[in-house]
A and B are shown apart, each in its own frame.
Chain A
Amino acid sequence: AQSVSQHNHHVILSEAASLELGCNYSYGGTVNLFWYVQYPGQHLQLLLKYFSGDPLVKGIKGFEAEFIKSKFSFNLRKPSVQWSDTAEYFCAVNPSTDKLIFGTGTRLQVFP
């Protein structure tokens, strides 16, 4: 069955630290890839997406993600986190259907 794995369940960082959140998926065909973010008390919203082209995708608020097809990965990165990045982050895969398959999420806490 298709699945998305986020191995980091809870990440705690200090401001200015670098961030990398892992995302791996199990699907052999063409996929669209997404990272969503849910800030405390807010709607789930799109952070960035990859459909095709340059495998390094830049999103909002300085986030980026790299699609590595050979590793079935789409890791999220930010070189220097801020307190306002405290949120829950979800990786999602769309395997060319009408559905998104979400990972279990990673809770990020950033301390000033």
Chain B
Amino acid sequence: SQTIHQWPATLVQPVGSPLSLECTVEGTSNPNLYWYRQAAGRGLQLLFYSIGIDQISSEVPQNLSASRPQDRQFILSSKKLLLSDSGFYLCAWGTSGGAEEQYFGPGTRLTVT
């Protein structure tokens, strides 16, 4: 069966520090991968998605970037965190083609101080 992992589960970082959140998927190949940010009252905002290695689409211009160095690994990064980057970050995977449902990881709670 397929599983999706995210780490760390929680993170507290000072403003201006770098960020690296990792997501890995097991039990499937060539998945679509997604990064979302969930904020109270604002639902899930799609940040990045990837349909293959080194193929990244950015949905919202901001202080973050994403990379997909391997088929089942998706990384969310920042060179310098802002206070506004605080939030709950969710990784998800879906089957190629995009018509099917997505499966979500446990999330990372990021607090920028």
Contacts and interface: CB of A to CB of B under 8 A. Distances in A.
Contacts of B101: 34, 46, 49
Contact of A98 (B32, B42, B104, B106): B32
Nearest to B41: A104
B50 to A, nearest CB: 9
Nearest to A49: B101
Contact of A43 (B36, B49, B99, B105): B105
Number of chain B interface residues as a range? 20 to 34
Interface residues of A, number: 25
Contacts of A92: 44
B27 interface: no
B106 A43 contact: yes
Given A44-B104, A98-B49, A90 B43 contact: yes
